């Protein structure tokens, strides 16, 4: 792509199309009522632009579909496994590659083998499934992101960085024997999709290794993180994304990966490790629930799609378009006065609903109220990351609210064009213009954990 042009075009043309359905306001009102004002309960067919997640929702390339046709479905020793293993080793360099059906399966297998009751696992910010799997193993998942990473309005080039002093203190207080690993999530999804700098990866690795603790990377969005390093960190402007990724992983002892993100695939994941004994233990567990070590819960064709996806995700034209198009949405929202987490992340723009809907108290779920309005106005589905997801019900019936009330507009990879995004901007601008008339919600039904998936709500008068 010639950088002297102002317009960043999609670096692909469309070969297959999938129709999306336009709905009437009455239809959407009825759909909301039936879904109990919980967007997870909508039929996806009733959604025009689906920004719920970037996980498994990307479009595959003609080369990926082509590779799938020649996938090797052998139970053991599939050629497609060896292709996937080679692609992963080329980028990440770890000696053992263990395929899984998705990211959380890699997490469960790793933590079941390496984490014991009473231990502590530090991370910049644990993603929900990572936290849940560590807690399930009886250990504590501790978030040590830098203070800037907790403040939506504060600009910092690498808001996903780990607080190095806090890491040292944690090691001193908890003791080396109770820290089985240090983790870094690239990019930091729960903190707004914010990147981690190479200097921070290097420093975290050094501190962990000084104490003989392994560093494991949650690599879901490693390619997007590599591009941010190239753009924002001195000395990387002329490096290829592959080289940057290789350097990141050279500081680590292993990784967990959801190939549904930067694997550009609809399903899949893997665990990669250098430690021979640990890898053996993980493979033993893999056989119990996922499958034989050369397919681990995946079809041969899935492994082909991931191997091809891992090559395409590091192409410069793709990454430039990917990161630029997310920033495009963010800039347009700011231009119409919508408050967002700054700077925008790689895979998503997060609207600060607390700042936008100041008249709705956290107890009335302002971020959920905003997400419902986006659907009501224009058929857009986003996801609430606020008190409906993280609020803690108290015995007296009250609730401790979440720190932040965010609505995540998550951009699927290679799916929507600029005109889709222009429409999203128009819808949000309209909702913003009538924000004072938006009312909060009340929960009428909830499950004891992960309630946001199934809760039912009703609008407050
Ligand atoms: N780690 C991170 C940073 C993630 O964002 C996710 C998934 C996982 C691990 C788990 O991977 O879904 O393949 O089991 N994030 C999705 C999201 C679900 O919407 O952010 P998985």
Q: Residue 373: its pLDDT value, please?
A: 98
Q: pLDDT tens digits for 123-163?
A: 999 998 899 999 999 999 999 999 999 888 899 999 999 99
User: pLDDT band at 311, cuts 50/70/90?
Assistant: very high
The answer to whether 211 and 176 are in contact (CB under 8 A) is: yes
Q: Residue 6: its pLDDT value, please?
A: 83
Q: How far is the CA of 54 from the centre of ligand 1 (A)?
A: 9
Instruction: Quote the CA–CA distance of 269 and 84 in Å, as a whole number.
Output: 11
Q: Residue 190: its pLDDT value, please?
A: 85
The minimum-distance atom of ligand 1 relative to the CA of 258 is: 13
Distances (CA, A) of 254 to 101, 175, 210, 381: 18, 22, 17, 35
Instruction: Quote the CA–CA distance of 38 and 31 in Å, as a whole number.
Output: 10
Q: Residue 349: its pLDDT value, please?
A: 97
Residue ID of nearest Cα to ligand 1 atom 21: 103
Ligand 1 pocket test, pick from 105, 107, 109, 127 with the greatest ligand atom count within 8 Å of Cβ, gives 127
Q: Residue 156: its pLDDT value, please?
A: 95
Q: What residues line ligand 1, using a CB cutoff of 6 Å? A: 53, 55, 102-104, 127, 129-130, 185, 189, 218, 220, 258, 260, 269
Residue ID of nearest Cα to ligand 1 atom 2: 127
Residue 402 DSSP class: P
Q: pLDDT tens digits for 164-223?
A: 999 999 999 999 999 999 999 999 998 889 999 999 999 999 999 999 999 999 999 999
Q: Measured at the alpha carbon of residue 299, what is the angle toward residues 293 and 305, in degrees to the nearest 5?
A: 105
More confident residue, 224 or 5: 224
Tokens of 6: 């102002």
User: Which of 4-8, 197-201, 270-274 is predicted least confidently?
Assistant: 4-8
The minimum-distance atom of ligand 1 relative to the CA of 54 is: 19
Q: How far is the CA of 450 from the centre of ligand 1 (A)?
A: 15
Q: How far is the CA of 434 from the centre of ligand 1 (A)?
A: 34
The answer to whether 406 and 386 are in contact (CB under 8 A) is: yes
Write the Ramachandran bin of 50: left for phi over 0, alpha for psi from -120 to 50, otherwise beta.
beta
Residue ID of nearest Cα to ligand 1 atom 4: 127
Mean per-residue pLDDT over the chain, rounded: 96
The minimum-distance atom of ligand 1 relative to the CA of 347 is: 20
Please give the sequence-ordered ranges of beta strands (E in DSSP) within 205-265, or none if there are none: 215-218, 254-258
Q: How far is the CA of 86 from the centre of ligand 1 (A)?
A: 24
Q: Residue 391: its pLDDT value, please?
A: 87
Q: Residue 394: its pLDDT value, please?
A: 86
Long-range contacts of 331-340 (CB under 8 A, 24+ apart): 332/422, 332/425, 333/425, 333/428, 333/429, 336/425, 336/428, 336/429, 336/432, 337/432, 338/428, 338/429, 338/432, 339/152, 339/153, 340/152
Q: For residue 449, is pLDDT > 80?
A: no
HSE-up of 276 (CA within 13 Å, CB side)?
0
Q: How far is the CA of 271 from the centre of ligand 1 (A)?
A: 14
The answer to whether 159 and 125 are in contact (CB under 8 A) is: no
Strands 456-459 and 441-445, how do they pair?
antiparallel
Please give the sequence-ordered ranges of beta strands (E in DSSP) within 20-130, or none if there are none: 49-50, 96-100, 120-123
The answer to whether 226 and 196 are in contact (CB under 8 A) is: no
H-helix or E-strand spanning residue 400: strand 399-400
Residue 264 DSSP class: -
Residue 363 DSSP class: G
The minimum-distance atom of ligand 1 relative to the CA of 259 is: 13
Q: For residue 370, is pLDDT > 90?
A: yes
Q: For residue 450, is pLDDT > 90?
A: no
The answer to whether 62 and 13 are in contact (CB under 8 A) is: no
The minimum-distance atom of ligand 1 relative to the CA of 188 is: 3
Please tell me the pTM assigned to this model: 0.96
User: Which of 3-17, 189-203, 280-294, 307-321 is predicted least confidently?
Assistant: 3-17
Residue ranges in 313-439 assigned as alpha helix (H): 316-335, 353-356, 366-378, 387-390, 418-433
Q: Residue 8: its pLDDT value, please?
A: 83
């Amino acid at each position: 792509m010639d950088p002297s042009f102002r317009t960043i075009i999609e670096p692909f043309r469309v070969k297959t199309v999938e129709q999306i359905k336009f709905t009437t306001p009455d239809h959407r009102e009825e759909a909301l009522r039936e879904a109990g004002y919980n967007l997870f309960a909508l039929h996806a067919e009733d959604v025009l632009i689906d920004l719920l997640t970037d996980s498994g929702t990307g479009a595959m390339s003609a080369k990926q579909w082509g590779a799938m046709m020649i996938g090797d479905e052998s139970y053991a020793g599939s050629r497609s496994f060896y292709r996937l293993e080679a692609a992963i080793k080329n980028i990440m360099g770890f000696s053992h590659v263990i395929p899984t059906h998705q990211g959380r399966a890699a997490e469960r297998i790793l933590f079941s083998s390496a984490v014991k009751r009473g231990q502590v696992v530090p991370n910049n910010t644990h993603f929900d499934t990572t936290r849940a799997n560590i807690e399930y193993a009886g250990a504590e998942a501790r978030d040590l992101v830098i203070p800037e990473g907790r403040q939506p309005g504060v600009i910092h080039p690498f808001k996903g960085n780990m607080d190095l002093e806090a890491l040292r203190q944690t090691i001193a207080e908890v003791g080396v024997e109770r820290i089985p690993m240090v983790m870094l999530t690239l990019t930091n999804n729960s903190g707004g999709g914010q990147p981690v700098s190479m200097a921070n990866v290097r420093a975290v690795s050094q501190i962990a290794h000084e104490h003989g603790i392994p560093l494991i990377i949650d690599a879901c969005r490693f390619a997007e993180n590599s591009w941010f390093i190239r753009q924002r960190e001195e000395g990387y402007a002329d490096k290829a994304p592959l080289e940057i990724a290789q350097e990141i992983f050279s500081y680590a002892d292993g990784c967990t990966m959801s190939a549904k993100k930067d694997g550009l695939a609809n399903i899949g994941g893997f665990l990669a490790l250098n430690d021979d004994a640990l890898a053996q233990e993980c493979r033993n567990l893999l056989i119990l629930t996922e499958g034989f070590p050369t397919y681990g819960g995946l079809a041969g064709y899935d492994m082909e799609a991931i191997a091809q996806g891992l090559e395409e995700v590091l192409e410069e034209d793709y990454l430039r378009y990917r990161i630029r198009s997310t920033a495009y949405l963010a800039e347009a929202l700011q231009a119409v006065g919508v408050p967002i987490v700054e700077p925008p992340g790689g895979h998503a723009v997060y609207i600060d609903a607390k700042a936008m809907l100041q008249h709705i108290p956290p107890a009335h779920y302002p971020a959920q109220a905003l997400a419902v309005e986006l659907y009501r106005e224009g058929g857009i589905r986003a996801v609430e990351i606020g008190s409906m997801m993280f609020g803690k019900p108290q015995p007296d019936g009250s609730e401790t609210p979440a720190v932040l009330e965010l609505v995540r507009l998550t951009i699927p990879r290679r799916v929507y064009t600029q005109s889709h995004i222009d429409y999203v901007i128009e819808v949000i601008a309209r909702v913003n213009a009538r924000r004072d008339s938006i009312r909060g919600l009340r929960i009428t039904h909830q499950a004891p954990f992960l309630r946001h998936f199934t809760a039912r709500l009703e609008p407050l008068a």
